[in-house]
Chain A
Amino acid sequence: MAYIYYPGCASEATGKSNHISFEAVAHALGLELAGEIPDWNCCGATLVANAIGDFAQMALACRNLALAEKKGHDIIVACSSCYLNLAWPNELMRINPEFGKKLNEALGAANLSYSGKLKIKHVVDVLANEIGVERIKERTIKPLNGLKVACYSGCQTVRALRRPDFDDVEYPQVMGRIVEAVGAEAVDFPLAARCCGGSQQFANPELIYDLTGKVLDSAAAAGADVIVTTCPMCAMNTDVFQEKIGKLNKKKYKMPVLFLTQLMGVAFDLKPKDLAFGYNIVSPYGKLKKYGVKK
């Protein structure tokens, strides 16, 4: 049963390499995708509910669920905030019929409806629990032996449903299983599910410097060579702001930040254009040279 893919807005800008490498890794593992949700719209990220309230934001996000249902496919999501904004109202429909009724009233204004029957899956969940680590191991051509990885799940992926779903809400483990399947070592990383500051880069930059600094310190203390994440916002804050935070904290982190599917792509020996390292700010080439990654 093929999934239909929801790329989210970051796939067009800050998280482009997540999108490119996800599609390539999905293809390499034979994960069937029924294309993108046609005419998908922004899920609202962590900001729209602040301006218009929860319900209106969820209704706008759920237009995507109505469009996917027309196509008859469950949804796969590669971005943490998108996952939360699609999976949470989906969960609410399951636990609160009243909400479902109201939601359909709102969607009805655009002649759309949604039954609440779709499954909405995060990429990490599908990789670990449906494709499975055995298949990922089998597909690995260049095992990443000796590479120490800090698996940075962040907040919204593991806490989207506000209960343990495919992973623990405080101590995520699942990404580590995938990282180990491609031969790398997942280091003990206490801040794996702690906040980087999210989307406060412009409104409260000092919050980003502080929280992302703590995450970088924790990964460095754990002896990580690289940080791996699936969240475009975590990636932006740890990668793009790394040098700036380093100056503030008088440290040279030199910690490349990879999307999980970029790391898997290295082990799968995918083409450079599919690895999309051209988008990385902190250069990953030094750390990945011994695994055959060339500029």
Chain B
Amino acid sequence: MTADKGTSRYDPTFARELSKMENGEYVSQCMQCGLCVVTCPARHLMDLQPRKYFKAIQAGDKDKVLKANTPWLCTSCNLCTVRCPRGIPIIDFMHGMKKYLADTKGAKVTPGALFSKTFFDNMISRGRLWEAFLTGMFYLKAGPKAMRDAMKMTDVAIPMVMKRRLPPLPGKAVKGKKDLKKIYKKASALAKEGH
């Protein structure tokens, strides 16, 4: 195994590249204590647990990071963020990471990415969420395997519809929908500028 220049799987510029994304500046602060790992409720389903994820970024193991499902399993429970001894707002970092992955070629396409995007599309087009439509759109976009998964959910969906907790018709849309689009456009531009 030779680590010739150009054939190494480690990319020394990767951590610097990530530090430029929104909330990416925190990545260098991780000191590998592992408290986030013992805290994380989703660690057992992650390809790389949070501590190793930070390590892989710091080491420049780009391919591994792009393929890992780690951020997509974060539930935003905020427990690691309140516990981190370095005060890293891990939840914010994960938000930045998810946006970065969604915008990056070669990153793993996950159901979590698709669901988040579908949710946002629903929110920005109506101003408020229409949960039944969101669920349907997600399964439609996710393809045949997801449709089979959807069938497995009917035992949950039917009681929800019966109990009127998943109204098939939308509620009121927001009058200021255009304002939301303007705010979104401006805020996105400002977030890019800042990093």
Contacts and interface: CB of A to CB of B under 8 A. Distances in A.
Nearest to A107: B183
Interface stretch (B5-13, B58-66, B68-76): B68-76
B178 to A, nearest CB: 8
B56 interface: no
9 smallest CB-CB distances across A and B, nearest first, come from A110-B179, A59-B187, A50-B116, A109-B186, A195-B77, A9-B129, A106-B187, A159-B78, A155-B77
B25 to A, nearest CB: 13
B67 interface: no
B107 interface: no
B159 A281 contact: yes
B72 to A, nearest CB: 7
B185 A109 contact: yes
Nearest to A110: B179
B183 A59 contact: yes
A56 B159 contact: no
B182 A110 contact: yes
Contacts of B186: 59, 105-106, 108-109
A102 B189 CA distance: 11
Interface string A104-131: 0111111010000000000000000000
Contacts of A14: 131, 160, 165-166
A108 B139 CA distance: 37
A45 to B, nearest CB: 7
B76 A198 contact: yes
Interface of A: 9, 12-14, 16, 39-42, 44-60, 63, 84, 102, 105-110, 112, 155-156, 159-160, 162-163, 169-170, 193-195, 197-200, 202-207, 210-211, 236, 240-241, 243-244, 278-281
B113 interface: yes
B30 interface: no
23 contacts: A12-B129, A12-B171, A39-B127, A41-B180, A47-B116, A47-B120, A48-B120, A51-B98, A51-B99, A52-B188, A56-B188, A57-B95, A59-B187, A60-B123, A109-B183, A109-B185, A109-B187, A155-B77, A162-B89, A199-B75, A202-B139, A207-B42, A211-B75
By size class, the interface of chain B is: 35 or more
Nearest to B101: A50
Contacts of A59: 183-184, 186-187
B77 A12 contact: no
Interface string B100-136: 0010000000111111110110011001110110010
Contacts of A210: 44
Q: Point out which of B89, B159, B184, B185 has the most chain A C-beta atoms below 10 A from its C-beta.
A: B184
Given A16-B165, A195-B79, A207 B45 contact: yes
Contact of A47 (B119, B163, B171): B119
Contacts of A45: 119, 129
B112 A204 contact: yes
Given A159-B81, A162-B78, 16 more contacts: A9-B131, A13-B129, A13-B167, A16-B164, A39-B176, A41-B127, A47-B119, A48-B119, A55-B187, A155-B78, A160-B78, A169-B82, A170-B82, A202-B138, A281-B159, A281-B165
Interface of B: 22-23, 41-42, 44-45, 71-73, 75-79, 81-82, 89, 92, 95-96, 98-99, 102, 110-117, 119-120, 123-124, 127-129, 131-132, 135, 138-139, 149, 153, 155-156, 159-160, 163-167, 171, 174-176, 178-180, 182-188, 190-191, 194
A199 B116 CA distance: 10
B182 A50 contact: no
A205 B150 CA distance: 11
A202 B115 contact: yes
B94 to A, nearest CB: 8
Contacts of B73: 200, 204, 207
A5 to B, nearest CB: 15
Contacts of A280: 163
B164 A279 contact: yes
Contacts of B149: 205
A39 B82 CA distance: 33
Contacts of B99: 49-53
